[in-house]
Structure 1
Amino acid sequence: MHTHFVTISGCSGGGKSTLLAELRARGHSVVEEPGRRIVQQELATAGSALPWVDATAFARLAVRTALADRRAAEAHRGWVFFDRGLIDAAAALEHLTGEPVLQELGTLHRYHRRAFLAPPWPEIYVADAERRHGFEAGVEEYQRLEKAFRALDYDAVLLPKARASERADFVLASLQS
């Protein structure tokens, strides 16, 4: 278990990446979201492992990427913040295929006991070339992730709807308690 690995998960378009940019600016290690990197790579290479083309291939690749990210992050000291990660990928794969992967992967590869979830925040939600689904799909995903983190016995803490600096203060203070 890596108690210095912290996952930031939750609703698409809920401000996770902005929060992680703030944490990086404060000197913390940050691991970019596997899904966004996969989408960028697949679009650049005309690949088909895209959520809107082959969602199962995308989820399987996200699991592999998240596992590789964890291995690469082992060299870091101090907090390492993950923009999404293995639990998100495993929850998506299990949702799509019914394969019971979440419990096994989530138990073998733990993050810090406190996970942070960005709630649905329609006022800041924006679709883009890499996030093509609507807000409603993001809310459904959020509900699945909230259940997944609780099922894996994480202390799932809801992030406040606040500026990135305030959210970063909240996360760092929560990790000290």
Structure 2
Amino acid sequence: MKSRKIVITGGPGTGKSSIVHRLEEKGERCLHEISRQVTLEAQKEGIAQLFLERPLLFSEKLLEGRLKQYIEADKITGDHIFIDRGLHDVLAYMDYFKTPYPDLFDKICKDHPYDKIFILPPWKEIYKSDNERYESFEQALKISDYLYSTYRNYGYDPIEVPKLSVEERTRFILNNI
């Protein structure tokens, strides 16, 4: 039996990684966000912010990596697997930045459904920017709107995770799968 694919998404700095790490500590299977890896690889090649300099290439690399994760999740047995960001996040970001993308992006999202979507709302008190997170909090708010909209446009009803401690948010997710 294939594991149910459960996405944890949200704008930048909403606590996704902290929750995914806590889920792992509890013995849950998780696949991690890959955008930092794509960004760091580009920086090694002398491109400071691949998404800003070549947004379509960055998005193609992200979509390819997330598609690999999706296929990897298909091979995992068990009840469920948590995925830090889904394929649809790529389209939400592209739409936010008003960057056109090929129809193939849409087809990939339609052909690779998830079982449940949890979305973390923007939360100013925990937001921090760093070397790979260049967005301001105001931009994070707008990106969050695009994420909600994109997932809804594909027929999902994202479950909003309340602004609580990491432990309580993790428990909320586990109680709602």
Tell me the TM-score normalised to structure 2 length: 0.89
Q: Give the match for residue 100 of structure 2.
A: 97
Q: Give the match for residue 175 of structure 2.
A: 173
Return 5+ residue gaps in structure 1 as ranges: none
Higher mean C-alpha deviation, range 9-18 or range 73-82: 73-82
Secondary structure (helix, strand or coil) at the match of 2:30 reads strand
Return 5+ residue gaps in structure 2 as ranges: none
Q: Give the match for residue 81 of structure 1.
A: 82
CA contact (8 A) 1:33 1:84 kept: yes
Letter in 2 for 1:126: K
Higher mean C-alpha deviation, range 5-14 or range 84-93: 84-93
CA contact (8 A) 1:63 1:90 kept: no
Q: 1:149 to 1:58 in 2, by over 3 A?
A: same
Secondary structure (helix, strand or coil) at the match of 1:116 reads strand
Secondary structure (helix, strand or coil) at the match of 2:164 reads coil
Structure 1: 4+ residue segments shifted above 6 A? none
- After superposition, residues 125-136 of structure 1 pair within 5 angstroms as 125-136=127-138
CA contact (8 A) 1:31 1:82 kept: yes
Letter in 1 for 2:74: E
Q: Give the match for residue 117 of structure 2.
A: 115
Compute the displacement of 1:115 (Å).
Answer: 0.5
CA contact (8 A) 1:7 1:116 kept: yes
Secondary structure (helix, strand or coil) at the match of 1:81 reads strand
Tell me the TM-score normalised to structure 1 length: 0.89
Higher mean C-alpha deviation, range 102-111 or range 155-164: 102-111
- The number of residue pairs the alignment matches comes to 173
- Alignment partners' CA distance in 1, 2:105 and 2:162: 27
1:153 aligns to 2:175 (yes or no):
no
